[in-house]
Amino acid sequence: MSSTDTRNESDRVLIFDTTLRDGEQSPGISLNRHEKLEIAQQLARLGVDVIEAGFPITSPGDFESVQAIAREVEGPVICGLARTSKQDIDAAWNAVRDSQRPRIHTFIATSDIHIERKLQTTREDVKGQVRAAVAQAREYTDDVEFSPEDGSRSDVEYMAEVIQIALQEGASTINVPDTVGYTMPGEYAAMFEQLYRLVPDLHRVVVSVHCHDDLGLAVANSLAGVQAGCRQVECAVNGIGERAGNASLEEIVMLLRTREPTMGLWTGVDSTEIARTSRLVSRLTGYQVQPNKAIVGRNAFAHEAGIHQDGVLKERRTYEIMDATTVGLRSNSIVLGKHSGRHALRKALQEMGYELDGQVLNTAFKRFKEIADRKKQLTAMDLEALVTDELRGEDVRGYVLDWFEVEASSRRPPHARVSVTLPEGGSAQGAFTGDGPIDAVFQAIDAATGVGAKLSDFQIGAVTEGQDALGEVSVVVEVGGTSGAGQGVSTDIIDAAARAYVRALSVAVARSRSGGAVGLPETAAG
């Protein structure tokens, strides 16, 4: 906050980002240490207040990722999640202890259904666990957060007793989550009003919200909590997370920014980094952003209706409540063609925020030329899809699609042949006759790799308009009970699908061979 800024610090809403913890628990997402660190560094540039870097006890890989973030990322508080067991809290502390601003976030369920059915214990035992856990965490750091899991379905008076114990032992942040996305804004606000009355000490600490989107109310419920006095929102980039996901970081931030004159609330986030952060998370997780997604979807600032277009041309504010540049979105005016050179491509990418050099630029330029031969003009959106696809390929270490051939007609089933470079070196070929050309290619890839994958999800969309539009395919596969996600971009939708499938297969196989996604002993807080 600048010296001339008159905004009240008490009106600041802290942004607690859980993309790397709750977000990574989304089916098919498995980020390695390098990828988590890259996202964490971008979150620091975005200006979030807290990064929940992971759940250190769950696996050696998660511990090492949290530790690397704690050691290398400066600015935000670096937080590790822990249940109330001594081992969990020790692991969380050892992972975050090298951060300039470490936090331990410990949790336990307080709803009767969780206590009786999941924990199979008693209310009194839960109280004892909270007392011991928060006290242990406080021996390591002054920054301790406590969450009564499934808070929105808990008996408020009992939950108030538990929160009071956590405060007595030194918790500095209390987060009351809507873990299963069940509550409604009025109910959530009333719950906090009651908690503030039952636990007066809540007024001297930060009170936090963590809402899931099972009924589509995560952002609305988070706002209700903030309006009831909470000053921390736990959210994730692109709204990723368990089941239907978390409250969307970009929606929370831009809601508070756009309506700041009305609500008087603000955040320290640099909103111009939102679009870049969204693209990075989408690329590394393989989770495609839906076109009509608020703030960061490609249609978020697009106008199709003639009346709307006319109004926007005359005065942008007639139909746009935000300026696209405030979230880091640039215009779609950049247009390149097949005669454009390497320098023109590099300059266009720089204008979009991508600094490419060396082999990565060479590879992107080669791909650009291949696509430019099939597409008259490449817009900024095309270039962004192309370059993120190439960067996505750099991130995946596994199988690589060399080539494919498909024979298809209405008179006989399609037949596909593929060649795939193997992770251990060399290549293998496979062939298959399938129900359709894409099915045939997928099955041929399975035959070449010797991996029997189950297709869990397949989505396809156009990056831009027109018959020569780039197609973007998102695929989730399952190998031996382990999921992997991948994306691919091309003017040929079969090519895009094949690229996405090979990448998803690489992720799933790598996870499976390393022990897979370590199942959490309990549902994590939120």
Domain shared by 56 and 134, yes or no:
yes
Asked whether residue 471 is domain-assigned, the answer is: yes
Domain shared by 231 and 121, yes or no:
yes
Domain shared by 309 and 259, yes or no:
no
486-492: average pLDDT = 85
Domain shared by 260 and 371, yes or no:
no
Provide the percentage of residues in the chain whose pLDDT is more than 70: 86
Q: Specify the higher pLDDT residue, 96 or 323.
A: 96
The predicted structure's pLDDT at residue 3: 43
Buried residues in 97-113 as b, exposed as e (16+ CB within 10 A): bebebbbbbbbbbbbee
Domain shared by 81 and 219, yes or no:
yes
The predicted structure's pLDDT at residue 344: 80
Domain shared by 387 and 407, yes or no:
no
Is residue 301 very low, low, confident or very high in pLDDT (cuts 50, 70, 90)?
Answer: low
Q: What is the DSSP string of 236-274?
A: BGGG--STT-BPBHHHHHHHHHHTHHHH--B----GGGH
The predicted structure's pLDDT at residue 294: 93
75-101: average pLDDT = 98
Q: Which of 344, 499, 356, 485 has its CA nearest to residue 418?
A: 499
How many domains would you assign to the chain?
4
Asked whether residue 178 is domain-assigned, the answer is: yes
Asked whether residue 233 is domain-assigned, the answer is: yes
Domain shared by 269 and 137, yes or no:
yes
- With tokens 């951060």, the residue in question is 99
* Of the candidate ranges 149-163, 374-388, 503-517, the one whose mean pLDDT is the lowest: 374-388
Asked whether residue 3 is domain-assigned, the answer is: no
Structural contact between residues 397 and 423, judged by C-beta atoms closer than 8 angstroms:
yes
Domain shared by 313 and 432, yes or no:
no
Structural contact between residues 281 and 19, judged by C-beta atoms closer than 8 angstroms:
yes
Domain shared by 171 and 22, yes or no:
yes
Domain shared by 422 and 402, yes or no:
yes
Answer with the one of 252, 285, 318 that is the final residue of a domain: 285
Asked whether residue 293 is domain-assigned, the answer is: no
The predicted structure's pLDDT at residue 339: 72
Task: Determine the residue type at 428.
Answer: A
Is residue 186 very low, low, confident or very high in pLDDT (cuts 50, 70, 90)?
Answer: very high
Domain shared by 406 and 312, yes or no:
no
Instruction: For 434-460, write each residue's pLDDT tens digit.
Output: 999 999 999 999 999 999 899 988 988
Asked whether residue 519 is domain-assigned, the answer is: no
Q: What pTM, to 2 d.p., does this model score?
A: 0.79
Domain shared by 236 and 369, yes or no:
no
Domain extent, residue 504, equals 396-513
The predicted structure's pLDDT at residue 309: 47
Asked whether residue 526 is domain-assigned, the answer is: no
Asked whether residue 209 is domain-assigned, the answer is: yes
380-385: average pLDDT = 69
Q: What is the overall mean pLDDT for the chain?
A: 87
